[in-house]
Amino acid sequence: MAENKQEPKTMQLEVQMDETTAQGTYANLAGVTHSETEFIFDFLFLQPNQPKAKLRARIISSPVHTKRFLAAMLENIKRYEERFGAIPERAVNLTQGHS
């Protein structure tokens, strides 16, 4: 008896967004925390020489989706570095220069 295997169909996803959302929001700092059931990503903007950062967006995600997001980020960083060169890693001391 022949097994009837079908290839999974790829779905074309259409993303809808308003013009303001399409412009994006700049963030130069991020924080990540998690519980058993979710990951929370806080995207912040820190102005130079200022002791406070402004929260620009908070994204709450499931562990499964977060792991897929990590894989996508790693793949895109790899492609970026192959094309433009290594991204330098720098440690940022947020308390430096603040009394």
* pLDDT for position 41: 98
Quote the pLDDT of residue 94. Answer: 55
pLDDT tens-digit readout, 28-49: 999 999 999 999 999 999 999 9
Position 98 scores a pLDDT of: 41
Domain positions in the chain: 26-84
Instruction: Report pLDDT for 97.
Output: 45
Contacts of 51 (CB under 8 A, 6+ apart): 98
Task: Evaluate whether 45 touches 56 at the Cβ level (below 8 Å).
Answer: yes
> pLDDT at position 9, please?
78
Sheet with 29-34, edge to edge strand ranges: 29-34, 39-46, 53-61
